[in-house]
């Protein structure tokens, strides 16, 4: 009997493992004002999503049999919002036990139950780059997730996204704002120290790589010495070696213009790629350098003056940098701000006069490019994933509200359903069942 | 001699003509052809606002503009009254993580003697930014402890605190003891502790009443000893007299109920601040006739059970129940976002006109300055904002701002820093 149960469970497990990944849903969004972001505005159009992928965008599309139709008349349909810098859906943010923690991976601590996922969905967000914190000069690997609430955590991971490693400069890694903290300070406590410790680790990684190269060369030779031993495996340096080999990109938390330039120098010294600078409130001071290197920035629109290095972060920066050749995205870095990223995008019109479509790109296409997922997300185009947000008014209006959020053709947030469930729950509370 | 007299007379004549000539023309500014949104009363699609000195001399469709008046062409613009932030830390907080720049929080629990306006920094970088978004007045408040101190209303222009203060004190601030969780991070205070603190608060008011009685009787009878000066009680006298309202920070429904009871028992004037769960007890607040200043909507709901949109729909629920509401930024660095809190509430059910009233005339009424501000009306201070659209909209640009009849500079650290680096960036390209 026990054997039978064992066999049965084996079959069950195997059949689950063998089943294809979540196939994605099919639905037709009808009669909405479609803001494609890359191909203009369709005043009254339809989007057909089949098996999670956008099959067709246009007018008067007929729903194939069995495909659910969502009426979007009078509403605005846009690509799902992407947050390029977030810390939600994780059961940890900073590994503060050490100064250099390149070996940790946020993919190991995904919390698919995090209520912040729902908060984000209620603001039209479908994808987040969820990152290690900024406590350490070299943090850990980040992970990009689709907010498929209720699905197992590995189904949230976006495999197409860049593999990225978090770096941090300035006040956080030098622990400048730990006012009243007791105990001896840890190295580093200055910007000199932050740069020096990053350089030290990259030099160590270089040596480590050459140790392995030498070992591999000798071990492949015709008669390797019998006493030949491989170098000691170091997971921290393994990660940094991946960065130096170009298999990982750097995402660097930086605030001051000067420290940012020094980090660009480091990247040239060691030949690694910087995908994006995070926060960087002084980016407007070094526009030619950033534009010239083709490095994007992921910023707050106007959250500022919360520390000294954030006291020269100006609201017109997003528009100014975007108009001068820098790939700009607006991030939340917050489980609260994440639900109003579209409001921040609108502010780029107010502060700097960015055209509407460009403003919308700050929270859709631009973060998609920064994450390396622009082939599957960031705009509404046939062939891309069916990640869609529906708003009652233009998403850049202050009076707008997210009505529905769809990921790969599946509805993950539906305000009207939410409201009717709430009403029902309130009724049941008022009239407790007899018995 | 005759020559001298002649010279003297001609000098007098020149001086007089300069002085009187100025008086005749310069005090008038006319904003013409502008779409007026007076807030009180109907819109005037193409009207004129005539400003004389600090005040609105005339407003309407057919206004005769005095000869020599300065003309401001308002074609294509909307004129709104300057917005009023009903709870903020402007001039009291510069960089939030640096204690050296924070002056709205004192140590100790009972601080009625504190006046926020006496710590005001006119040079705060946040003031020009806020002003440039159409906010012309703000209540700057002390916070923390049980009795936090006195707030004051300031105009967002001026070189010294004295030049900025419109009215001080406006309210005495109390952080009402909480028996419930206010938010996810805040610690739960045990019920006993909270009731003890309410008793303590009532005790302070009673002591103040007794102090006053002793002083009054001593004043009438020289044989009775005059009580020693008591700093705490002395500054509570206007509160127990009913002259100075208490602004009570209170968030959870249970605490709001307790606060209503407290206000009624003590027979004092009160304004509520925060009221995040006000929607649960909206009728009771309306019945008690206590106005509510809404805290920042840039926050999470106080409890998940309230629903994700609890903070957003709260203002509409309060307004519909008949509570007079006003919005606030509850900030210094983001005080500029005041209109967007109102718009967010409008996205979740608040009537758009009511949203506008809640940043203009309602705060003026709640803070006791509706006779001089809060709407565009004859006789009020000329606090006027010219915008290219709806003042609560994110995409709207504010073009010109007048405070007390004077046009104010709309540059700020935002524009100054950007202009500083633009040439460098161009050169380097």
Instruction: Give the C-alpha separation, A278 to A253, whole Å.
Output: 4
Q: Confidence class of residue B13 from pLDDT cuts 50, 70 and 90?
A: low
C-alpha distance from B95 to closest chain A C-alpha (Å): 5
Q: Are B44 and B64 in contact (CB under 8 A)?
A: no
- What are the helix (H) ranges across B45-160? 126-131
Closest to A126 in 3D by CA, of A364, A400, A415, A372: A364
Mean pLDDT, rounded, for B298-319: 95
**How many Å lie between the alpha carbon of B183 and the closest alpha carbon of chain A?**
13
Q: What is the mean pLDDT of residues B54-58?
A: 98
State residue A17's pLDDT score. 44
Hey, how many other C-beta atoms are within 10 angstroms of the C-beta on B354? 17
Whether B305 has its CB under 8 Å from any CB of chain A: the answer is no
Question: Do the chains contact at A307 and B308, CB–CB below 8 Å?
Answer: no
Q: What is the pLDDT of residues B182-213, one digit of tens each?
A: 443 345 456 778 889 999 999 999 999 999 99
End-to-end CA distance of chain B: 73
Choose among A138, A202, A134, A131: nearest CA to A161.
Answer: A131
The pTM of the full predicted model, rounded to 2 decimals, is: 0.93
Structure tokens at B303: 């409890």
Q: Which residues contact B236 (CB under 8 A, 6 or more apart)?
A: B112, B147, B172, B204, B205, B208
**Residue B291 buriedness (CB in 10 A; 0-12 / 13-18 / 19+):** buried
Q: Does residue B125 sit at the A interface (CB-CB below 8 Å)?
A: yes
Encode pLDDT of A52-88 as tens digits: 999 999 999 999 999 999 999 999 999 999 999 999 9
Q: Are A236 and A101 in contact (CB under 8 A)?
A: yes
Residue found by looking up tokens 């709806």 in the block = B390
Closest by Cα among B366, B300, B301 to B327? B366
B64 touches chain A (CB under 8 A): no
Residue with tokens 């699609």: B45
Instruction: Give, for A366, the enclosing helix (H) or strand (E).
Output: helix A365-371
Report the alpha-carbon distance of residue A244 to residue A141 in Å, rounded: 14
| Side-chain half-sphere CA neighbours of B136 within 13 A | 30
Asked if the model's pLDDT at residue A15 lies above 50, the reply is no
CA atoms within 13 A on the CB side of B46: 4
Structure token pair of residue A120: 């984000």
ipTM: 0.93
* Mean pLDDT across B320-338: 98
Q: Categorize the per-residue pLDDT at A178 as very low, low, confident or very high, splitting at 50, 70 and 90.
A: confident
B339 contacts A398? CB cut-off 8 A: yes
How confident is the model at residue A429, as a pLDDT? Answer: 83
* A11 against B57, higher pLDDT: B57
Q: State percent of chain B over pLDDT 70.
A: 91
Of A79, A179, A88, the residue nearest A129 (C-alpha)? A88
Percent of chain A with pLDDT strictly greater than 70? 94
Average pLDDT of B16-32? 65
Q: Is B154 helix (H, G, I), strand (E, B) or coil?
A: strand
- Torsion sign, CA atoms B162, B164, B169, B174: negative
pLDDT tens per residue, range B109-150: 999 999 999 999 999 999 999 999 999 999 999 999 999 999
Give which of B84, B31, B151 is closest to B370, Cα–Cα: B84
Interior angle at CA A274, CA A272 and CA A276, nearest 5:
170
Does the pLDDT at position A268 exceed 80?
A: yes
Give the least confident one: A173-187, A356-370, B315-329. A173-187
Is the separation of the CB atoms in B412 and B132 below 8 Å? Answer: yes
Partner-chain contact A316 B418, CB within 8 Å: yes
B334 has a pLDDT exceeding 60: yes
pLDDT score at B185? 39
CA distance B397 to chain A (A): 6
The answer for B74, left when phi > 0, alpha when psi is -120 to 50, beta otherwise, is: alpha
Instruction: Considering only the beta carbons, identify the residue of A304, A311, A324 that sits closest to B425.
Output: A324
Q: How confident is the model at residue B99 (pLDDT cuts 50, 70, 90)?
A: very high
Mean per-residue pLDDT for B384-399?
A: 97
For residue A435, the model assigns a pLDDT of 45
pLDDT of res. A37: 98
State the Cα–Cα distance between residues A236 and A191, nearest whole angstrom: 22
Determine the Cα–Cα distance for residues B385 and B393; give it in Å rounded to an integer.
14
* Mean pLDDT of the A110-130 span: 97
Distances (CA, A) of A207 to A240, A241, A244, A269, A348: 11, 10, 12, 15, 46
pLDDT at A16: 45
- Is residue B10 very low, low, confident or very high in pLDDT (cuts 50, 70, 90)? low
Share of chain B above pLDDT 90, in %: 88
The SS3 call for residue B424 is helix
**Of A141-145, A320-324, A383-387, B2-6, the least confident:** B2-6
Question: Quick one: three-class SS letters along A161-172?
Answer: CCCEEEEECCCC
Q: Is B399's Cβ below 8 Å from some Cβ in A?
A: no
- A284 → closest Cβ in B96, B304, B418: B418
DSSP 8-state code for residue B100: G
What b-and-e string marks burial along A357-390, b requiring 16 or more CB atoms within 10 Å of the CB? bbbbbbbbbbbbbbbbbbebbbbbeeebbbbbbb
* Rg, Å, chain B Cα set: 25
* Interface probe, candidates A304, A418, A430, chain B, greatest B C-beta count within 10 A: A304
CA distance B250 to B247: 9
Instruction: Grade residue A434 by pLDDT with cuts at 50, 70 and 90.
Output: low
**Cβ-based burial of A185 (10 A; exposed 0-12, middle 13-18, buried ≥19):** exposed
The pLDDT value recorded for residue A430 is 80
Residue A265 phi/psi, 5-degree rounding, is: -60, -45
Can you say whether the dihedral through the CA atoms of B322, B324, B329, B331 is positive or negative? negative
> Cβ–Cβ of B347/A305 closer than 8 Å?
no
For residue A433, the model assigns a pLDDT of 58
Given CB atoms, is B419 within the 8 Å cutoff of chain A?
no
* Mean pLDDT estimate for chain A: 94
Residue B299 contacts A, CB cutoff 8 Å: yes
- Asked whether the beta carbons of residue A346 and residue B308 sit closer than 8 angstroms, the reply is no
- pLDDT tens column, A295-347: 999 999 999 999 999 999 999 999 999 999 999 999 999 999 999 999 999 99
How does pLDDT run across B355-389, given as a tens digit for each residue?
999 999 999 999 999 999 999 999 999 999 999 99
Distance CA A332, CA A363 (A): 10
Q: Which residues of A touch B129 (CB under 8 A)?
A: 315
Question: Does the distance separating the beta carbons of A393 and B418 come in below 8 Å?
Answer: no
Residue A19 confidence (pLDDT): 44
Interface of A with B in 94-133 (CB under 8 A): 115, 118-119, 122
**Are residues B96 and A335, on separate chains, in Cβ contact within 8 Å?**
no
Q: Which one has a higher pLDDT value, A11 or B398?
A: B398
User: Which stretches does DSSP call E strand in B242-396?
Assistant: 246-250, 270-274, 292-294, 325-327, 384-387
The verdict on B334 touching A (C-beta cutoff 8 Å) is yes
Phi-psi region of B210 (alpha: psi -120 to 50; beta: other; left: phi over 0): alpha
């Amino acid at each position: 009997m026990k054997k039978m149960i064992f066999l049965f469970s084996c079959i069950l497990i195997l059949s689950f493992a063998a089943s294809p990944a979540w196939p994605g849903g099919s639905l037709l969004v009808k009669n909405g004002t479609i803001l494609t972001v890359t191909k203009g505005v369709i005043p009254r159009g339809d989007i057909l999503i089949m098996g999670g992928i956008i099959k067709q965008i246009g007018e008067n599309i007929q729903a194939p049999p069995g495909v659910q139709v969502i009426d979007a008349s009078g509403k605005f349909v846009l690509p799902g919002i992407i947050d390029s810098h977030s810390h939600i859906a994780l059961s940890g943010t900073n590994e503060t036990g050490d100064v250099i923690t390149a070996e940790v991976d946020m993919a190991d601590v995904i919390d698919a139950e995090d209520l912040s996922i729902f908060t984000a969905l209620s603001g039209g967000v479908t994808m987040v780059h969820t990152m290690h914190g900024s406590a350490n000069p070299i943090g850990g690997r980040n992970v990009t997730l689709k907010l498929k609430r209720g699905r197992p955590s590995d189904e949230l991971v976006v495999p197409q996204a860049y593999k990225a490693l978090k770096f941090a400069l300035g006040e956080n890694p030098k622990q400048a704002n730990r006012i009243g903290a007791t105990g001896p300070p840890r190295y580093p406590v200055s910007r000199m120290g932050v740069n020096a410790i990053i350089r030290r680790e990259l030099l160590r990684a270089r040596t480590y790589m050459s140790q392995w190269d030498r070992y591999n060369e000798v071990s492949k030779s015709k008669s390797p010495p019998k006493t030949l031993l491989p170098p000691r495996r170091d997971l921290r340096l393994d990660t940094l070696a991946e960065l130096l080999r170009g298999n990982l990109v750097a995402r660097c938390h930086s605030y001051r213009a000067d420290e940012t330039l020094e980090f660009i120098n480091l990247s040239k010294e060691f030949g690694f790629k910087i995908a994006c600078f995070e926060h960087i409130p002084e980016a407007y001071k070094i526009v030619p350098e950033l534009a010239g290197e083709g490095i994007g920035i992921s910023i707050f629109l106007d959250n500022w003056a919360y520390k000294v290095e954030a006291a020269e972060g100006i609201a017109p920066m997003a528009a100014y940098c975007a108009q001068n050749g820098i790939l700009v995205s607006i991030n939340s870095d917050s489980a609260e701000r994440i639900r109003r990223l579209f409001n921040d995008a609108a502010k780029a019109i107010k502060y700097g006069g960015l055209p509407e479509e460009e403003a919308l790109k700050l929270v859709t296409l631009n973060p998609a490019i920064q994450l390396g997922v622009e082939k599957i997300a960031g705009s509404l185009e046939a062939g891309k994933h069916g990640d869609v947000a529906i708003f009652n008014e233009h998403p850049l209006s202050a009076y707008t509200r997210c009505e529905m959020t769809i990921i790969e053709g599946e509805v993950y947030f539906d305000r009207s359903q939410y409201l009717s469930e709430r009403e029902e729950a309130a009724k049941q509370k008022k009239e407790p069942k007899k018995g | 001699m005759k020559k001298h007299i002649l010279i003297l007379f001609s000098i007098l004549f020149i001086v007089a003509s300069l002085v009187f000539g100025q008086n005749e023309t310069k005090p008038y500014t006319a904003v013409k052809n502008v779409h007026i949104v007076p807030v009180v009363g109907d819109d005037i699609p193409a009207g004129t606002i005539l400003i004389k000195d600090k005040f609105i001399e005339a407003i309407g469709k057919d206004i005769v503009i005095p000869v020599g008046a300065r003309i401001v062409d308002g074609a294509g613009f909307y004129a709104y009254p300057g917005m009023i932030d009903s709870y903020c830390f402007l001039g009291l907080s510069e960089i939030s993580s640096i204690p050296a720049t924070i002056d709205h929080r004192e140590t100790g629990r009972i601080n009625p003697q504190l006046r926020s306006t006496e710590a005001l920094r006119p040079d705060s970088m946040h003031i020009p930014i806020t002003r440039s978004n159409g906010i012309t007045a703000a209540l700057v408040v002390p916070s923390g402890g049980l009795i936090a101190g006195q707030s004051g209303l300031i105009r967002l222009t001026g070189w010294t605190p004295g030049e900025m203060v419109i009215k001080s004190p406006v309210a005495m601030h109390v952080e009402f003891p909480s028996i419930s969780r206010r938010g996810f991070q805040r610690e739960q205070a045990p019920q006993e502790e909270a009731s003890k603190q309410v008793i303590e608060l009532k005790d302070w008011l009673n002591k103040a009443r007794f102090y006053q009685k002793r002083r009054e009787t001593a004043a009438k009878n020289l044989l009775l000893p005059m009580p020693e000066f008591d700093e705490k009680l002395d500054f509570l006298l206007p509160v127990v007299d009913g002259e100075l309202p208490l602004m009570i920070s209170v968030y959870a429904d249970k605490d709001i109920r307790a606060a209503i009871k407290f206000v009624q028992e003590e027979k004092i004037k009160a304004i509520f601040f925060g009221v995040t769960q006000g929607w649960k007890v909206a009728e009771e607040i309306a019945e008690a006739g206590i106005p509510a200043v809404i805290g920042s909507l840039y926050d999470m709901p106080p409890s998940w059970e309230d629903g994700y949109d609890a903070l957003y729909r709260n203002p509409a629920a309060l307004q519909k129940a008949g509570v007079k509401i006003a919005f606030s930024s509850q900030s210094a660095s983001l005080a500029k976002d005041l209109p967007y809190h109102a718009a967010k509430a409008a996205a979740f059910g608040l009537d758009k006109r009511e949203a506008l009233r809640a940043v203009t005339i309602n705060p003026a009424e709640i803070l006791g300055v509706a006779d001089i501000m809060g709407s565009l009306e004859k006789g009020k201070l000329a606090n006027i904002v010219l915008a290219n659209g709806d003042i609560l909209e994110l995409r709207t640009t504010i073009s010109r701002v007048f405070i007390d009849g004077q046009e104010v500079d709309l540059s700020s650290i935002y524009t100054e820093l950007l202009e500083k680096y633009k040439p460098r960036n161009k050169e380097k390209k």
